[in-house]
Chain A
Amino acid sequence: MRVGLFVTCLVDLMRPRIGFAALRLLEAAGCEVVVPTSQTCCGQPAYNAGDRRGARLLAEKLIVEFEGCDHVVAPSGSCAGMIRAHYPNLFSDDPAWCERAAALGTRTHELSDFLTTVVKLDKAPGDFIGTVTYHDVCSGLRELGVKAQPRALLAKMPGVRLVEMEGAEECCGFGGTFAVKFGDISARLAEKKCENVRTSGADAVVLGDLGCMLNIEGKLRRMGDEKTRVLHIAEILVGGAERGS
């Protein structure tokens, strides 16, 4: 099975280890992983800023890069959601492109969803020991139905105990450029999320989107919490060996 790994721009810039963790997991699941080197961004920032034309050009680029793969996997709910739920709409006036977009969309998955429902990963190499709580990222949850999948994967890790926090499905306040345009509202939402994370008593909050990770980690540290770890689902599944590579 030829799987295209869409690394996503934020993983590329901020947390390459998450990209490598995803790569390792997919390989462990027996996939032939290809990482097109010309990939950049799915176009979501342009799309949500109202720049439909800019978003469309990037969508075309991504479709061409990944069309040859059986599946596309992204370690991000919002990027996978962009391709799956929004690309067809970008080409609503162009049937040929619209069909290509829709065809790729149905083969595009958020990482934990792919590992659970497509390749049915039976064990995770991760060695994390402790209590974790899972934050449902908005796009993954409401655009792709990612809810049970990451929890099922965490349940395969013997050292991990999952506790649900209050308001796990509530937005952390990131929202792309919202976090900068309305920094104070965004930071206040992040604070509520971090309070819920801390009240859960978990050693780590686990999630599947970089933007939300940066927002939550940034707020936890500003609140003086140096202890609670913020981990991507791929990192915790792969374990210590891959971290920091």
Chain B
Amino acid sequence: MQIRSMHFKGRASAAAADRVLQGKLATAKGLFVDGRRRAVAEIDLEATREASQAIRNRAVAHLDLWLERFEQEATRRGGQVLWARDGAEICRLVTDIARRHGVKKAIKSKSMLSEEAGLNAALEAAGVQPVETDLGEYILQINDNEPPSHIIAPVIHKTKEEVADLFARVHQKPRKTEIGEMTREAREMLRTHFLSADMGISGGNFLVAETGSVALVTNEGNGRMVTTLPRVHVVITGVEKVVPTLEDLATLMRILPRSATGQSISNYFSVLTGVKRPEDTDGPEHLYFILVDNGRVDLLGSDFQDMLRCIRCAACMNHCPVYQTIGGHAYGWVYPGPMGSVLTPLFVGIENALDLPHAATMCNQCGVVCPVKIPLPDLMRKLREQQVERRLRPWGERAALKLWAWLARHPSLYAFAAKFGVRYLNWLAEGGDRIRVMGVAPSWTAGRDFPTPEGRTFRELYKTRRNE
């Protein structure tokens, strides 16, 4: 996917002023935040978080061993495991597979890795028609390949009416506004693709090392069609998604749907193992796993290894006050919200996403809801530290911080500066209790007043008191 993260500021400003967008995001918040609260009340949340964190840590700590085990087990059951270093390699591997099997049409269930790689464009260039079958992803695809704005609810930024207009225009059918009718229409359109596709492409929520299986968590049922109807199934997922055992998978499944959509369990949960055997009635004849690095392996042993625990539930963005205000597009790449503010700079280059680690109030709501206890604000702060170390911050900011930090270490100079600063602000307030325009911080007073200081600093008053 094209990286637009350097334009965060402008796009976020526009989104912050978009009340219609915020209305839609508020609906989503109601659904996901309240839903999660209800769902996690059914389990011992803290114990499950601890256990999930431990499982993911165990997997990541010996990633090479679990991946080798996965490869052995998957291969033994007729699968073929391929490794991709980056997005370009994903595209090359998938188009090679398509060519080898004479594929003309590929149906897809949701895969964020395919977004990372820009796979649809590569397939089209290779003469293969990609068809998104997740309803949200389908809507985006027929809307001129619009990027998703959320990792599990990709069209959260659209109203029903917008989708109704789009369907009427693209499907060339009478406009429908009842959701049941609209989904039925989409299902009818997709049905022919399901039946005529030669290849299915899916993501993978988890890989199970001990059985060589891929686990898929879905709600629409399209995932089952994609993975069982066509003769070729290609799974694309990050190398970090492996877990050691089915038992581990069971634990993680207690917390993933609850954290993601507020469901005790998703509508569909599939554990797919091996190719179609003679006694099976369905399943793919050819099964490929493309396991992707694309920046993940570099995180091993780094300050950011905690991020590899991520199970892509989206609770961090659902609960983020900034995401709730600006939505996902402003973040400019595949992953929005707090997870994106950490992953995007790590995957596309810290210098290509300078604003993202700063686009957070550090309220830590993301950290407290994360099912695998990733300290997201701490990781954002570490990225800020790297920006400072690499001198990537603007000159003015660096100078101001340096001056302030120096003053703060020299109490008498600091006291003098504070006294002067307070008098200056009082002068700006012109005797009132608020400052309406503040030259040193115009972005503060553009949207709110700045209350006037009392007049004298605490240290001045305290000194006077002690001398009385």
Contact = CB atoms under 8 A, between A and B. Distances in A.
- B is a partner of A: yes
Interface of A: 7, 9, 11-17, 19-20, 35, 37-41, 43, 45-52, 54, 57-58, 61, 138-139, 142-143, 169-171, 173-192, 213-215, 217-219, 221-222, 245
A182 B448 contact: no
Given A40-B409, A178-B358, A19 B458 contact: yes
A54 B385 CA distance: 11
B367 interface: yes
Given A13-B418, A50-B383, 10 more contacts: A9-B418, A19-B462, A46-B405, A49-B401, A142-B368, A182-B9, A188-B17, A218-B450, A219-B449, A221-B449
A219 B458 contact: no
A37 B448 contact: no
Interface in B344-362: 358-362
B418 A12 contact: yes
A14 B451 CA distance: 8
Nearest to A62: B408
Given A37-B462, A142-B364, A171-B361, A58 B408 contact: yes
Interface in B335-379: 358-365, 367-368
A189 B361 contact: yes
B422 A171 contact: no
B384 interface: yes
28 contacts: A11-B458, A16-B454, A17-B454, A49-B384, A49-B388, A49-B393, A52-B388, A58-B408, A138-B361, A138-B362, A142-B368, A175-B363, A177-B358, A181-B358, A182-B9, A182-B358, A182-B443, A184-B16, A184-B446, A184-B447, A185-B13, A187-B448, A189-B361, A214-B451, A215-B448, A218-B444, A222-B448, A222-B449
Contacts of B405: 43, 46, 51, 54, 57-58
Instruction: Output the residue of A15, A177, A189 with the most chain B CB within 10 A.
Output: A189
A188 B362 contact: no
Interface in B1-43: 9, 12-13, 16-17, 22
Interface residues of B, number: 63
Contacts of B402: 54
Contacts of B367: 142
Contacts of B411: 37-40
A15 B450 CA distance: 13
A193 B444 CA distance: 16
Contacts of A41: 408
Interface stretch (B114-122, B137-145, B223-231, B318-326): B318-326
Nearest to B383: A50
Given A138-B364, A142-B363, A185 B422 contact: no
A148 B383 CA distance: 34
Contacts of B408: 9, 40-41, 43, 58
B434 to A, nearest CB: 5
Nearest to B435: A218
Main DSSP-derived SS at the B contact region: helix
A221 B449 CA distance: 7
A189 B321 contact: yes
A3 to B, nearest CB: 15
B461 interface: yes
Contact of A175 (B360, B389, B434, B458): B360
A138 B319 CA distance: 13
B261 to A, nearest CB: 21
B321 A218 contact: no
A180 B441 contact: yes
A222 B446 CA distance: 10
Nearest to B405: A54
B16 A46 contact: no
B386 interface: yes
A179 B454 contact: no
Contacts of B442: 183
Contacts of B325: 185, 188-189, 192
Contacts of A139: 364
A221 B402 CA distance: 33
B461 A40 contact: no
B453 interface: yes
A58 B456 CA distance: 24
Contacts of B414: 40
